[in-house]
Amino acid sequence: MRPSSLEKARFVADALDLRNITYEERNCEDLKLDGPPYELCLFLGVLYHLENPMMCLRNISRITGELCIVETQVGR
């Protein structure tokens, strides 16, 4: 996670006056649900960096209540 990515996300939320958004930097290899599931999880540009991508997909699925968006690059 780059700090600049969180800064950009917060900037967009502020510009659109979105007040019900929280951001967390977490390790997808060690996700635990500390409260209610998240309505939306963004799993963007992460999958191809992981040693165990299936474990991380299971972990993110476990903490997501409504929608998880997964984006990754696929190469040959």
CA distance 34 to 44: 22
Q: What is the pLDDT of residue 1?
A: 66
Q: What is the pLDDT of residues 37-68, one digit of tens each?
A: 989 988 888 888 889 999 999 999 999 999 99
Residue 22: which of 57, 32, 35 has the closest Cα? 35
Report yes or no: 68 and 44 within 8 Å, Cβ to Cβ: no
Report yes or no: 68 and 41 within 8 Å, Cβ to Cβ: yes
The tokens describing 58, both together, are 């299971």
Helix, strand or coil for residue 59?
helix
Q: Hey, which CATH number is domain 3-71, 3.40.50.300, 3.40.228.10, 3.40.50.10470, 3.40.50.150?
A: 3.40.50.150
Q: What is the pLDDT of residues 17-30, one digit of tens each?
A: 998 888 877 888 98
Q: What is the pLDDT of residue 64?
A: 94
